[in-house]
Amino acid sequence: MEQVKYLLNHENISFTAINDSIKVTNPATKEILAYVKKSDETSLTDIIKNANLAFKSWSVALASFRSDILMKWYELVIQNRANLARLMTLEQGKSLNEASGEIAYAASFIKWFAAQTLRNDGDILTSVKKDEKLLVVKQPIGVCAAITPWNFPAAMITRKAAPALGAGCAMIVKPASQTPLSAYALASLAYAAGIPKDLFVIISGDAGMISTAFADSKIIRKISFTGSTEVGIKIYEKSAKTIKKLSLELGGNAPFIVFDDADLDKAVDGVMASKFRNSGQTCVCANRIYAQSGIYDEFCAKLNIAIKSLKLGNGLENGVNQGPLIDENALKKVEEHINDALKKGAKCLSGGKRSSLGGTFFEPTLLSDATKDMLVAREETFGPLCPVFKFKSDDEVIEAANDTDFGLASYIFTNDPKRQWKVSESLEYGMVGVNTGLISNEVAPFGGVKFSGLGREGSRYGMDEYTEQKYICLNL
Ligand code: SIN
């Protein structure tokens, strides 16, 4: 902790106990890392008012000025990558290697949107009358708020804040109470880069109170939330009163389909990359693995070998690639899904139980003979559990894959180009990976359909979420 303290030079962070604060603990060791002051309703009102004042001057600054500052922030994040990664492993538990990957991923959004800030262009439309010009200009929405999750403590902040700040908005972020330190560290680098303190603010405290204050505020014009569908629905309902613009990146139940003609080694690598990223704690993790009957046994055998090679432990230790789960509830959910599946006929090929390391460590688990009546078919596990279902035909697997309320990520492995196209088009999902288990990057639009949410993040579409289009009819 000592070597990362300089990143946490913020009035809200204390390393000695303070009353009524959020205690941040290391999920691998249970050691207390820091205490974070909570915001109350009065301070929140002031923060929102000040953000609005800061927005007024930031929004009229030249785009190149905002872009340069974002680029400076990017450079500082990259320069501090090793310590930001260390801080993330300490508070979140993911391996140092993965945390370092997340810092690069987080930084990529800042760089991408710094460039996009320079070309957030409007349009000139073809006139319908002589002597009239029809223009569309893009303007920043205003003060925005983000509520971000614990599974990606840095990237989910920059994916929202960078386009908002680039477009000219102010951004108030409420990070998850389990992982606020990465957020404060990113903010101190943002301030060092020249982003005004009132324009980009990190707040902590009671999630219900804060989301209600965001939703009720007429000053806040947009909320971007990443988290569960259950909470997303509540934010949607609360925001109706103020007709708030929303981006909701919610739960998934990703199908991962392996056809008989697939390259099985590549498919196994794909499952490992998708399912075991962050120990199964991502919204785009493969949740249901469908293997076609001709390769089912061979695929399960190969996958089993790969799963047995994973190394569980404290993310700071060399060679560890699987950390602890975030808390006891996460562990209970994995156990519930495994017990339910075993009762209904699944076979356990690897893992299946809490690790002898104790705490919230859970063994990477492979179940074969999964069927659609099991909980794992309907609910997102959010943990290191791989259930493999068997299917015969394309139509059967497309129907099974779409038989869920969710529609975020999906994956298919096949070497047949016709099948690649047909199945990709038939899947009711916002994103499809073909012969890959890793689809997220700053260039592509990330988001889902159905109960997986609204809006897109990253990419050139991501900045539109923070702008309003104003039509100007100019009679000359
Ligand atoms: C998430 O799980 O919420 C985000 C995953 C990603 O950006 O790839």
Q: What are 76-119's pLDDT values in tens digits?
A: 999 999 999 999 999 999 999 999 999 999 999 999 999 999 99
Q: How far is CA 70 from CA 15, 55, 64, 109, 209, in A?
A: 30, 16, 10, 10, 31
What's the gap in Å between 249 CA and the centre of ligand 1?
9
**Site residues for ligand 1, CB cut-off 6 Å:** 149, 151-152, 226, 282-284, 440, 446
Q: Please identify, by atom number, the ligand 1 atom nearest to the C-alpha of residue 252.
A: 2
- At 41 the pLDDT is 87
- Output the six-digit token pair for 423: 């199945």
Residues 127 and 62 in one domain: yes
Tell whether 206 and 131 lie within a shared domain.
yes
Q: What is the pLDDT of residue 3?
A: 87
pLDDT in tens, 135-182: 999 999 999 999 999 999 999 999 999 999 999 999 999 999 999 999
Same domain, 424 and 457: no
CA distance 296 to 260: 8
Q: Is residue 380 part of a domain?
A: yes
Same domain, 274 and 155: no
CB atoms within 10 A of CB 396: 12
Question: Does a structural domain hold residue 71?
Answer: yes
User: From the alpha carbon of 282, which atom of ligand 1 is closest?
Assistant: 2
Question: Domain check: are 118 and 225 in the same one?
Answer: yes
Question: Of 166, 179, 296, 291, nearest to 226 (Cα)?
Answer: 179
For ligand 1, pick from 103, 281, 440 the residue to mutate: most ligand atoms within 8 Å of CB.
440
User: CA-to-CA distance for 101 and 84, rounded, in angstroms?
Assistant: 11
Q: Is the pTM of this model over 0.85?
A: yes
Q: Which own/partner contact pairs does 455-460 have at CB distance under 8 Å and 24+ positions apart?
A: 455/224, 455/246, 455/247, 455/248, 455/249, 456/247, 456/430, 457/159, 457/160, 457/163, 457/224, 457/247, 457/249, 458/109, 458/112, 458/159, 460/116
What is the enclosing helix (H) or strand (E) of 87?
helix 81-92
Identify whether 136 is part of a domain.
yes
User: Which atom of ligand 1 lies at the shortest distance from residue 105's CA?
Assistant: 7
Q: What is the pLDDT of residues 324-371, one digit of tens each?
A: 999 999 999 999 999 999 999 999 999 999 999 999 999 999 999 999
| Residue 351 backbone zone (phi > 0: left; psi -120 to 50: alpha; other: beta) | left
Is 446 part of a structural domain of the chain?
no
249 is catalytic: yes
CB-based burial label for 395 (10 Å; 0-12, 13-18, 19+)? exposed
- Ligand 1 centroid – CA 432 distance (Å): 14
Tell me which of 253, 276, 283, 459 to substitute to probe ligand 1's pocket, judged by most ligand atoms within 8 Å of the beta carbon: 283
Q: How remote is the CA of residue 240 from the centroid of ligand 1, in Å?
A: 26
Instruction: Give nearest CA residue, ligand 1 atom 8.
Output: 440
Q: 214 and 109, same structural domain? A: yes
Looking at residue 94, its amino acid is K
C-beta of residue 290 within 8 angstroms of C-beta of residue 320: no
C-alpha 43 to ligand 1 mean position (Å)? 31
The region that residue 303 occupies, defined by phi over 0 for left and psi between -120 and 50 for alpha, beta otherwise, is alpha
Nearest-CA residue for ligand 1 atom 3 is 283
3-state SS, residue 352:
coil
Helices (H) and strands (E) in the chain, counts: 15, 19
Residue 127 inside a domain? The answer is yes
Q: Which of 148, 150, 156 to mutate to test the pocket of ligand 1 (most atoms within 8 A of CB)?
A: 156
CA of 431 to the centre of ligand 1 (A): 12
Atom of ligand 1 nearest to the CA of 285: 2
The first and second tokens of residue 46, run together, are 């002031």
Residue of 92, 108, 150, 151 to test ligand 1 pocket, by largest number of atoms within 8 Å of CB: 151
Q: If we measure between CA atoms, which residue out of 128, 124, 178 comes closest to residue 156? A: 178
Task: Give the whole-angstrom CA distance, residue 132 versus residue 472.
Answer: 10
**Assigned domain for 445 exists:** no
Q: Could you tell me if 6 and 134 lie in one domain?
A: yes
Instruction: Report which ligand 1 atom has the smallest distance to the Cα of 283.
Output: 2
Q: Supply the range of the domain harboring residue 365.
A: 254-434
User: Phi/psi at 347 (nearest 5 deg)?
Assistant: -115, 140
Q: Whose CA is nearest to atom 7 of ligand 1?
A: 440
Q: What is the pLDDT of residue 1?
A: 81
275 within some domain: yes
Token pair 């929202």 in the structure block, residue: 160
Cα–Cα separations (whole angstroms), residue 420 to 202, 287, 375: 43, 20, 28
Spell out the residues 6+ positions from residue 454 whose beta carbon is closer than 8 angstroms to its own: 246, 247, 248, 447
Choosing from 151, 284, 380 the residue with most ligand 1 atoms within 8 A of its CB, the one to mutate for a pocket test is 284
Co-location of 212 and 111 in the same domain: yes
Regarding whether 130 and 50 lie in a shared domain, the answer is yes
| Residue ranges for the chain with pLDDT beneath 70 | none
Show the beta-strand stretches assigned E in 325-458: 347-350, 365-370, 385-391, 409-413, 431-434, 453-454
Q: How far is the CA of 282 from the centre of ligand 1 (A)?
A: 5
Name the residue with the closest Cα to ligand 1, atom 6.
Answer: 440
Ligand 1 atom with the smallest distance to the CA of 226 is 3
Number of domains into which the chain is organized: 2
| Claim to verify: residue 235 and residue 263 sit in the same structural domain | no
Judge whether 206 and 25 are in contact, CB under 8 Å: no
Residue 443 located in a structural domain: no
pLDDT at 306: 98
Give the Å distance between the CA of 278 and the centre of ligand 1: 10
The pLDDT > 70 percentage for the chain reads 100
Ligand 1 centroid – CA 131 distance (Å): 49
Query: Which ligand 1 atom is at minimum distance from the Cα of 281?
Result: 2
178 CA distance to ligand 1 middle (Å):
17
Task: State the catalytic residue, choosing from 91, 98, 102, 249.
Answer: 249
Q: Which of 76, 19, 309 is nearest to 194 (CA)?
A: 76
| Residues 226, 371 share a domain | no
**Claim to verify: residue 423 and residue 287 sit in the same structural domain:** yes
361 contacts 310 by C-beta, under 8 angstroms: no
Show the CA angle centred on residue 356, arms to residues 354 and 360, nearest 5°: 50
> What CATH number corresponds to the domain at position 167?
3.40.605.10
Residue 144: name the closest of 58, 85, 209, 73 by CA: 58
